[in-house]
Amino acid sequence: MSKQFEAKKESISLINRTLSDKNTSRERELRDLREKYRILLDRTRALEKVYKFHKGIIQNISSGIITIDFTEKITFINSAALKALDYRYDELIDKSVRIIFADHQEAESILHQLMTHKNMFESKEVSLLSRTENIIPIGFSTTLLRADDPKYNGVIISFRDLTNLNTLRAQMERIDRLTTLGEVSAGIAHEIRNPLAGIKTSAQVLEESFSPNDPRTQLVRRIVKEIDRSNELLKKFFKFAKPGKPHQNSVDIESLIEGVFIILASKMKRKKIILKREYHHRLRYVYVDENQIEQVIFNLLLNAMDAIGEGGEIAVRIYDKTSVSNHTVQMIAVDIQDNGCGIDIDLLEKVFNPFYTTKTDGVGLGLSISSRLVEENGGQLNVTSKSGNGSVFTMILPAV
């Protein structure tokens, strides 16, 4: 009995030992598995972090990035590019890149260089076309894209929207051009005024020698009158060349505009002009020379009235124009819009040139002087227009 009991006890102990060994081995395996899982999870998380970081860079970068394969199909497009072109991702992905070029011939030439010859571009300027058919001037560079997955092989196109830069360039060019023309005009005016002074003085000496009833007195007076008329024009040349230092103060732009409306009221009434005001009462104080800016407003309104026929419409808007990139200076914009004949796009920049005019009785100094005056006051005068659809002159002035 005791022997049997001992034998059973021994076998039970063996079973227990075996089971215990097995359990220990399983626990070890499980621990290993858990460790491997943890390492894998850490690596995946690290990779995910890197992926998100890279994605963040690509999507938050201000440059537009587009990748295309060697069949010209768009394989990727980042947020900046979508925003600039006003498209959704699904509207462009897998589509031919040609659809975003404004000029098809130029697209053909660029893509031929990229696809056939693998010739890359550096800082090339071209125009793209947004979904809403706006022309967007861009500067772009290209790099060959060699991906692990050959279906993504192709070209990376990175670009920057040059609209603001081009506007700035045009403004700088205008300032340069007007300064040069101003200097030339002032030089010419000076040279003409000298002999005019001699002619005028001689004529007046002659006039004094005639009796008031002598018909020759009338002739001499006419000479003087014409000299004075020429001199008035020459004075405008000087005004254009050197508008005079502005005496800037806090000026209520709303009241200034309303004041000009009063002066022009009878003329506006005669032409049955409809006047629309969109003021922003919070934004009304600008830091300018009151007389100079009043002259500009007067000029712009007269031009607008000339551009429209009877019963035409003039809208004046005041709004905030503080640049997003420059929070330090708050700017206020004043739009003077007419629904008249508009200006041809090729002639837009020319309207600021001195002596450029479409009026039979104008000398073409109004807008050039206005542009100079606004610049002297630390502002800008811009124009947008579509032939047949009216024009908008925008005066951007520093706010108080």
Q: Where does this chain bind another protein (CB under 8 A)? A: 186, 189-191, 193-202, 204-205, 208, 227-228, 231, 234-235, 237-239, 241-242, 244
Q: How near is the Cβ of 141 to another protein at its closest, in Å?
A: 48
- How many other CB atoms are found less than 10 A from the CB of residue 276? 10
120-144 core/surface letters (b: 16 or more CB in 10 A; e: else): ebeeeebebbeeeeeebbbbbebee
Q: How near is the Cβ of 202 to another protein at its closest, in Å?
A: 4
Distance from C-alpha of 334 to C-alpha of 362, rounded to nearest angstrom: 25
Report the Cα 8 to chain-centroid distance in Å. Answer: 96
- Taking CA atoms, 115 is separated from 73, 108, 143, in Å, by 11, 10, 12
In the chain, the amino acid numbered 117 is: H
Q: How near is the Cβ of 230 to another protein at its closest, in Å?
A: 9
Tokens 């793209």 map to which residue? 128
Nearer to another protein, 190 or 277 (CB): 190
Nearer to another protein, 189 or 314 (CB): 189
Q: How near is the Cβ of 235 to another protein at its closest, in Å?
A: 6
Nearer to another protein, 222 or 242 (CB): 242
Distance from C-alpha of 32 to C-alpha of 288, rounded to nearest angstrom: 78
Distance from C-alpha of 352 to C-alpha of 306, rounded to nearest angstrom: 17
Q: How near is the Cβ of 281 to another protein at its closest, in Å?
A: 37
Nearer to another protein, 110 or 234 (CB): 234
Nearer to another protein, 147 or 205 (CB): 205
Distance from C-alpha of 59 to C-alpha of 390, rounded to nearest angstrom: 39
Q: How near is the Cβ of 197 to another protein at its closest, in Å?
A: 4
Nearer to another protein, 31 or 235 (CB): 235
Distance from C-alpha of 190 to C-alpha of 355, rounded to nearest angstrom: 17
Q: How near is the Cβ of 229 to another protein at its closest, in Å?
A: 12
3-state secondary structure of 38: helix
**What is the DSSP pairing of strand 274-278 with strand 135-145?**
unpaired
Nearer to another protein, 203 or 396 (CB): 203
Task: Find residue 274's DSSP bridge partners.
Answer: 313
Nearer to another protein, 180 or 358 (CB): 180
Q: How near is the Cβ of 353 to another protein at its closest, in Å?
A: 20
- Report H helices in the chain: 2-60, 79-85, 89-92, 104-115, 163-209, 215-241, 253-270, 290-307, 366-376
